Amino acid sequence: MSQAAVTAGRGGLNLAWRRLRRNPAGIASAVLFAAILFACFPGAPLWVSHVCHHSPNDQNIQGYISSGGHRVPVVANDGTPIGPGWRACYILGADANGRDLFVRILYGGRVSLESASCPPSYVWAWRCCWGSPPGTRAASPTR
Amino acid sequence: MKVTITLVTLAATAAIAGGCGSGSSSSSNGASNTAVNGGVLKAGIPGNPDHLDPALSYTNEGWEILEATNNGLLTFKKAVGGAGAQIVPDIATAMPVVSDGGLTYTFHLRHGVMFSAPVNREVKPSDFKFSIERLFRVDSGGVGFFTGIAGAQSYAKTRKGGISGIVADDATMTISFHLNQPDGTFLDYMATPFAFAMPVGAPNKDVSTIPQWRVATGPYRITGYVPHQSITIRRNPSFKSWTPDTPNGHLDGIDVVIGVTPDQSVNEIADNQLDWYFESIPPDRYSQLKRQYPKQVYPFVRNNTTYFVMNERKYPFNKLAVRQAVNYAIDRNALVKIYGGQGTPTENILPPGFGTAFKRHDLYPYNLAKAKALIQQAGVEGATVTVWGHTTDPTPTAVQYLASVLNNIGLRATVKTFDESVYWDTLATAKGDPQIAFQDWNQDYPEGQDWMDVILNGEHIVPVGNNDQSYTNIPAYNRMIDQAKRMPLGAKRNAIWAKLDYLFMKNDAGWAPFMNRQWPKFVSARLHGLVFNGTYFELFPSMYLTK
């Protein structure tokens, strides 16, 4: 099959998608990015409401959790917080105030993504406002 | 505010029972009779000491240095063990003659105690009169100790004509202090660095960075101070030891690097790049270091109360119910954990080391529901609160904890932190004026008066150098304090302190005390001769280095 013949009638977005499909690193990054987006946006509050019932700012210095069949303090008497481990809460451990680091990373990720999306969104909006009207006019006679 | 100063409980009890004593906690890293001379101690400090001027310094960092460089009429004994609890003559030839029913203290000075270059002359009684008066002229945090001298109160206002109650006679080398009322702790005051000799003519400003006025009388002198970089301390060539209580010292000098973080200090001490650090071990490293270097870790109990201070003049803490709510809402055991377990929870104002003046009360068991109810009852839900703290670990964690607790009980709290070098001075000015702040009080001398009169007597509220930061001012309690102050040291006096502790916490609650802190230290393997004095803390002149 002739590749050129098939692609000839396709638009820019489609071309980009085809190029991305041929780029494994790109696909992997896209999947990872989607996973991060999912984890931070619907994921963070879901995790808090269904799995681990404390918000990123909840302190739990005096709390205990069950880990590996043992009752373990979130913060030990000498102030050492619990480390990472396979369990529902405190997967990545806690900080000195007994806050769940995993939950804090999820919520922290939201802040990072929100602030990262600001400049591109601004540029995109600006280009739409200034670029679209003349672009539409220029394109219309050929249609 | 005093950031550290330690004391061991039994020593304090003995000292109070025995009269005009100071407590001290002592330990020796190795036998002191094998002391060797020479070597320069490599020390580290996280930030600038508050001041290197005896009139102004009010932190353990400053006092540790000034103890080695300057002297007063009296001193606390520089000895290991209980002996260090005693007040002994320093530049005075003997303990003062007390006359007029405890109103007059007369000291006789030694000849031959010299001010270092460029002053290069003998210390005279007039220098002591000048030094005490200078405290008032430089807005020292220590003026509260000397307002009981006749004429001091009016001098504080006019700053003219001198303090009439201090009579110095250079010809006979005598100086007399006339007090308005008998005060057993006057001897303690005279042994603090605030009463150290500065030469007549020293400027009415901080001399920390003015080398020609950083004049020493002791075994060492500060030869260099570059803020944020270093402090250089070397032997004072004009010093000749006049009493075993002001010894020559073993070290040739001390090089203090400024800007060493607590974690950095641990690594550098373990690598022998540093011998000694001004601050205690970071709480999260304590257990590991105790296991790994058992001979280089020293836990010391301080006569300290660590607390949150609430400003009774500021909304919403102008309401008693809110102050009580904070006391119910903080989990003191959780706060002790934040400090690495290096302390014991308390809700008393006075520390347990104060003998019969300490009577444990249990007015505020942890009760979040009750705290919430009190906030609602006070009608302050949603009030915005800024919690102040300094940036030295683990204080930021503690103030974050408090902010979270305040949010839980219905207030809206945020945190504001300051570098520790400016924090204490900022708190002590009316301009600073936080709503609620981290605070930490350590003994200046081991007696209830140092807490009750200095921090909670509303008569001493001043715009600058203010210690009553809760702005507690209850006339009936002020009168009780004034009454106790006139009594001789002992059990009767202590009973009043214990009662006031209970009354303040029950009816005023301007504080939320949470911990009596310990002060563990990690030192290099070559450093020995550590002596921990209740007032001056660790004594440089006792330290020595081995190969």
Write out the two tokens for B413: 């709290």
pLDDT tens digit sequence for A37-80: 999 999 999 999 999 888 999 999 999 998 878 889 999 888 88
Residue B316, preceding peptide bond in cis (omega within 30° of 0): yes
β-bridge partners, B389: B417
Contact B498, B356 (CB under 8 A): yes
Helix runs in B146-223, H state only: 152-158, 186-190
Average pLDDT over residues B350-368: 90
What pLDDT is attached to residue A8?
A: 59
Average pLDDT over residues B453-477: 93
Distant-in-sequence, close-in-space partners of B349: CB < 8 Å, separation ≥ 6 = B305, B451, B452, B456, B500, B501, B504, B505, B511, B513
Closest chain B residue to A78, measured at CA: B340
Question: SS3 string of B56-121?
Answer: CCCCHHHHHHHHHHCCCCEEECCCCHHHHHCEEECCECCCCEEECCCCEEEEEECCCCECCCCCCC
Distant-in-sequence, close-in-space partners of B311: CB < 8 Å, separation ≥ 6 = B317, B433, B434, B435, B436, B437, B469, B470, B471
Confidence of residue A139 (pLDDT cuts 50, 70, 90): low
The pairing of beta strand B253-258 with beta strand B343-345: unpaired
Of B337, B400, B407, which is closest to A79 when you measure between CB atoms? Answer: B337
Average pLDDT over residues B118-125: 97
- What number is the ipTM of this complex? 0.70
Write out the two tokens for B313: 């003049």
Q: How many helices (H) and strands (E) does chain A have?
A: 5, 2
- Angle (nearest 5°) at CA B291 between B288 and B294: 120
Average pLDDT over residues B294-307: 85
β-bridge partners, B441: B305
Backbone angles phi, psi at B289, to 5 degrees: -65, -35
Which of these ranges, A53-62, B192-201, B472-481, has the smallest mean pLDDT? A53-62
Element (H, E) at B451: helix B449-456
User: Which residues of chain A make contact with B404, given a CB cutoff of 8 A?
Assistant: 57-59, 97
Question: SS3 string of B342-363?
Answer: CEEECCCCCCHHHHHHCCCCCC
Rounded Cα–Cα distance for residues B518 and B297 (Å): 13
B340 touches chain A (CB under 8 A): yes
Tell me if A57 and B404 make a contact (CB, 8 A cut-off).
Answer: yes
More confident residue, B19 or A33: A33
Residue found under tokens 């030094």: B131
pLDDT tens digit sequence for B434-448: 999 999 998 877 778
Name the amino acid, one letter, at A142. Answer: T
Distance from CA of A60 to the nearest CA of B (A): 9
Of A61, A78, A96, which is closest to B287 when you measure between CB atoms? Answer: A78
Element (H, E) at B497: helix B491-507
What pLDDT is attached to residue B217?
A: 98
A96 touches chain B (CB under 8 A): yes
In this prediction the pTM is 0.69
Which of these ranges, B148-157, B410-419, B486-495, B515-524, has the smallest mean pLDDT? B486-495
B287 touches chain A (CB under 8 A): yes
Residue of B291, B330, B337, B412 best to disrupt the A interface, most CBs of A under 10 A: B337
Rounded Cα–Cα distance for residues B380 and B319 (Å): 9
Rounded Cα–Cα distance for residues B494 and B498 (Å): 6
The pairing of beta strand B97-99 with beta strand B343-345: unpaired
Contact B307, B441 (CB under 8 A): yes
DSSP label of A87: S
Name the amino acid, one letter, at B294. Answer: P
Confidence of residue B11 (pLDDT cuts 50, 70, 90): very low
What pLDDT is attached to residue B23?
A: 32
Tell me if A78 and B339 make a contact (CB, 8 A cut-off).
Answer: no
DSSP label of A49: I
Confidence of residue B368 (pLDDT cuts 50, 70, 90): very high
More confident residue, A66 or B390: B390
